[in-house]
Amino acid sequence: MREACAIEVHNLTTTYGGAPVLWDIDFELPAGHIIGIIGPNGSGKTTLLKTIMGLLPASSGYVKIFDKDLEQIRHKISYVPQRESVDWDFPASVFDIVMMGRYRKNNLFKRTNKTDLEIVLQSIEKVGLTKYKDRQIAQLSGGQQQRVFIARALAQKADIYLMDEPFVGVDAATEHSILKLLKEMRDLGKTVLIIHHDLQTVSDYFDYLVLLNTRLIAKGTPQEVLTEENLTNAYGGQLTLLAKVANLIKVNQFPIREKDVDL
Amino acid sequence: MGELWIIITASIVALNAAILGCFLLLRKMAMVGDAISHAVLPGIVVAYYLSGDKTSGLLLLGATLTGVLASFAIDFLSRKAKIQGDASIGITYTFLFAVGMIMISTMMNGNTDIDMECVLYGDISLINLDKIVVDGNLYLGPRAFYIEVIALVIIGFSIGFGFKGFKVLSFNEDYAKALGINTNRWHYALMTLVSLTTVFSFEVVGAVLVVGFLIIPPATAQLFSTKLKQMLFWASVFGILAVIIGYYLAVWMNVSITGAMVTVAGIDFFLVLIIQRLVDRKKRSTTFAAPEFITPTPKNSVE
């Protein structure tokens, strides 16, 4: 049996000021997996996520989610923007921000109800921030702020999660606990799409990969995607990177992690 | 009695401005408030020319629309024409303001009721001249007071009713969009309210100093507020405080009333800033004094 398709991107092109940021991207992503989007800086990873989410207009092509148009199924998708994209000095507590996950187009004028409250408290509990729920978000560490965003996404009770670099500025322990949470979500049948930049960890984290550099370079299981050819295609002739790529392939063939390789 | 009316009317101006200013500030759009307050000038002149009355509903509505138009123009320039944000603000409001200046000097030639001075600085001490009197002798207070009350009702109702919408728009616009919320609609609702506040209060405090009421009290409140509602509350308190202290200061020193009010607001800001810094330093020095290395408590511990 063929796996259900969660996200279908068809011949998608997105431009910024005339120059294409994404060019003719075409893929189908299976449901119930943790999927990584990787590629060099400026390769259109964030643009791809924003276009899927309808935040940027596509110049051509379309996106279907579970075979439906975005507007029909928006409530099933949860978006986690980059942590740096907001001002954390905003006067609000952890609870206030996670509560935003319960906001909908048609309940903005209503009071929040008991179910909302329960879901929000559960979501905060899941990311381990119950102790800090009344703390102002400025007084949290980077990792805690990231977990606030994840709790907010959880509170949406979605089926698909689109996360933009959730592991940036997060310490190793938090990264581990976030990953555990994502795996639990996957086991419940949720689809998680994550933009990731750390090539060292991709094969451990993801079941499925999309390698991007304006065009789609490769997609599939980590073994299929992380070949020397694909990575050179994506990262080009950047000398320092070639060494990293070679190292990565080694890591991929022999699952021994060398965390301290830093280029 | 006249004195009290002035203070009450100005307090409502401050209250309106403080509430909206909080959202402008949190959206990093303080300068948009400035732009709108200048850009309404041609609207005021045209509406005045057509109605011949400084306080008619037509004037207020027409001018409010100009402000909204200005924010349209700013968004168009920055989003579609890809002009950088602060430049598009500068282009739009100086242009509209200049048009308004020419209009005043040509269309209002010799008119004593409306001139640059009046539009820019308002004249709070004269609001009592324009009274609302019922039955020939029942004095109900200055007209400006009622105009401000109308503005307060509109703003209070909009913000109270749409609190969640304005909150999510201010914190994370992209996220609001991802939730399917029409952020454009909310943005222009806020711009309309800002425009309305400036126009409704131009006669009282003038189009320039209203910016002081829009920005300074919310900025003061933001220094220490940890909740949005708390920020709204304290911004209002600082605004009204500036009005009261400023009024008596102006009377005592015989200077411009509105000028004194905004000056007091500015002094309040720096006082709070200094106090906050001192408190912070004290807090930090006590933390350092604690023997952290004996009982290590990792700050970023993960439960």
**How buried is residue B245: exposed, middle or buried, by Cβ count under 10 Å (0-12/13-18/19+)?**
middle
| A8–chain B Cβ distance below 8 A for any pair | no
Q: Alpha-carbon distance A133 to B244, whole Å?
A: 38
Q: How confident is the model at residue B176 (pLDDT cuts 50, 70, 90)?
A: very high
Give, for A126, the enclosing helix (H) or strand (E): helix A114-126
Inspect the interface and report whether the beta carbons of A55 and B227 lie closer than 8 Å.
no
Nearest to A79 among B26, B178, B300 (CB): B178
Q: CA dihedral in degrees (B111, B114, B117, B120; nearest 10)?
A: -150
- pLDDT at position B291: 44
pLDDT above 90 (res B287): no
Nearest to B299 among A17, A86, A141 (CB): A141
* DSSP character at residue A21: E
Q: Alpha-carbon distance B131 to B129, whole Å?
A: 6
Question: pLDDT of A65-80, one tens digit each?
Answer: 998 888 889 989 999 9
Lowest mean pLDDT, pick from A206-210, B106-110, B179-183, B250-254: B106-110
Instruction: Produce one character per residue of B267-299: b if its CB has 16 or more CB atoms within 10 Å, e if not.
Output: ebbeebeeeeeeeeeeeeeeeeeeeeeeeeeee
Give, for B41, the enclosing helix (H) or strand (E): helix B41-51
| A73–chain B Cβ distance below 8 A for any pair | no
Phi-psi region of B184 (alpha: psi -120 to 50; beta: other; left: phi over 0): alpha
Inspect the interface and report whether the beta carbons of A79 and B175 lie closer than 8 Å.
yes
Nearest alpha carbon to residue A146 among A118, A179, A122: A179
- pLDDT at position B293: 44
Where is pLDDT greater, at B155 or B147?
B155
How many Å lie between the alpha carbon of B273 and the closest alpha carbon of chain A? 16
- pLDDT at position A238: 63
Inspect the interface and report whether the beta carbons of A91 and B164 lie closer than 8 Å.
no
Inspect the interface and report whether the beta carbons of A128 and B302 lie closer than 8 Å.
yes
pLDDT above 90 (res B125): no
Q: Alpha-carbon distance B153 to B16, whole Å?
A: 9
Question: pLDDT of A144-170, one tens digit each?
Answer: 999 999 999 999 999 999 999 999 888
- pLDDT at position B1: 67
* % of chain B exceeding 90 in pLDDT: 48
Are the beta carbons of B197 and B210 closer than 8 angstroms? yes
- pLDDT at position B202: 80
Give, for B209, the enclosing helix (H) or strand (E): helix B183-222
- pLDDT at position B98: 92
- Length of chain B in terms of residues written: 303
> How many beta carbons lie within 10 A of that of residue A229, not counting itself?
9
Residues of chain A with pLDDT under 70: 1-3, 237-263
Contacts of A54 in chain B (CB under 8 A): 177-178
Q: Alpha-carbon distance A29 to B81, whole Å?
A: 36
Q: Alpha-carbon distance A263 to A39, whole Å?
A: 17
- pLDDT at position A240: 61
pLDDT above 50 (res B64): yes
> What tokens were used for B9?
């009317």
- pLDDT at position B298: 47
Inspect the interface and report whether the beta carbons of B167 and A100 lie closer than 8 Å.
yes
φ/ψ (deg, to 5) at A36: -105, 140
Are the beta carbons of B39 and B27 closer than 8 angstroms? no
- pLDDT at position A260: 53
Contacts of A74 in chain B (CB under 8 A): 178-180
Question: pLDDT of B29-52, one tens digit each?
Answer: 888 888 998 888 888 888 777 776
Where is pLDDT greater, at A229 or B26?
B26
Q: Alpha-carbon distance A192 to A6, whole Å?
A: 10
What homologous superfamily does CATH list for B2-207? ABC transporter involved in vitamin B12 uptake, BtuC (1.10.3470.10)
Helix axes B228-253, B257-289, angle to 10 degrees: 130
> How many beta carbons lie within 10 A of that of residue B206, not counting itself?
24
Tell me the ipTM for this assembly.
Answer: 0.86
- pLDDT at position A128: 92
How many Å lie between the alpha carbon of B245 and the closest alpha carbon of chain A? 27
Nearest alpha carbon to residue A88 among A97, A78, A80, A79: A97
- pLDDT at position B130: 74
| A53–chain B Cβ distance below 8 A for any pair | yes
Q: Alpha-carbon distance B40 to B69, whole Å?
A: 9
Nearest alpha carbon to residue A222 among A189, A253, A263, A243: A253
Question: pLDDT of B78-115, one tens digit each?
Answer: 888 888 888 999 999 999 999 988 888 887 766 656 67
How many Å lie between the alpha carbon of A230 and the closest alpha carbon of chain B? 32
φ/ψ (deg, to 5) at B138: -85, 110
Q: What is the mean pLDDT of the segment spanning B3-9? A: 90
Inspect the interface and report whether the beta carbons of A96 and B175 lie closer than 8 Å.
no
Nearest to B174 among A55, A78, A96 (CB): A55
- pLDDT at position B104: 83
Nearest to B171 among A17, A79, A90 (CB): A90
For A85, name the nearest residue in chain B, comparing CA atoms only. B172
Segments making up each domain of chain B, as ranges? 2-207
Are the beta carbons of B42 and B63 closer than 8 angstroms? no
Q: Alpha-carbon distance B268 to A62, whole Å?
A: 54
- pLDDT at position B54: 61
Inspect the interface and report whether the beta carbons of B226 and A104 lie closer than 8 Å.
no
Contacts of B159 in chain A (CB under 8 A): none
Mutation to test the A interface, candidates B80, B168, B181, B226, most A Cβ within 10 Å: B226
Contacts of B172 in chain A (CB under 8 A): 81, 85-86, 100
Nearest to A174 among B170, B179, B302 (CB): B302
> What tokens were used for A69?
């148009």
**Which pairs from A2-5 meet CB under 8 Å and 24+ separation?**
A3/A30, A3/A31, A3/A32, A4/A30, A4/A31, A4/A32, A4/A66, A5/A29, A5/A30, A5/A31, A5/A66, A5/A67
pLDDT above 90 (res B301): no
Question: pLDDT of A25-55, one tens digit each?
Answer: 999 999 999 999 998 888 889 999 999 998 9
Nearest alpha carbon to residue B174 among A118, A12, A20, A152: A152
Inspect the interface and report whether the beta carbons of B226 and A91 lie closer than 8 Å.
yes
pLDDT above 60 (res B296): no
**How buried is residue B238: exposed, middle or buried, by Cβ count under 10 Å (0-12/13-18/19+)?**
buried
Give whole-number Cα distances, B194 to A234, B17, B70, B123, B204, in Å: 48, 8, 12, 20, 16
Nearest alpha carbon to residue A122 among A108, A92, A102: A102
> What tokens were used for A181?
């949470």
Q: Alpha-carbon distance A93 to A97, whole Å?
A: 6
Q: Alpha-carbon distance B82 to A17, whole Å?
A: 8
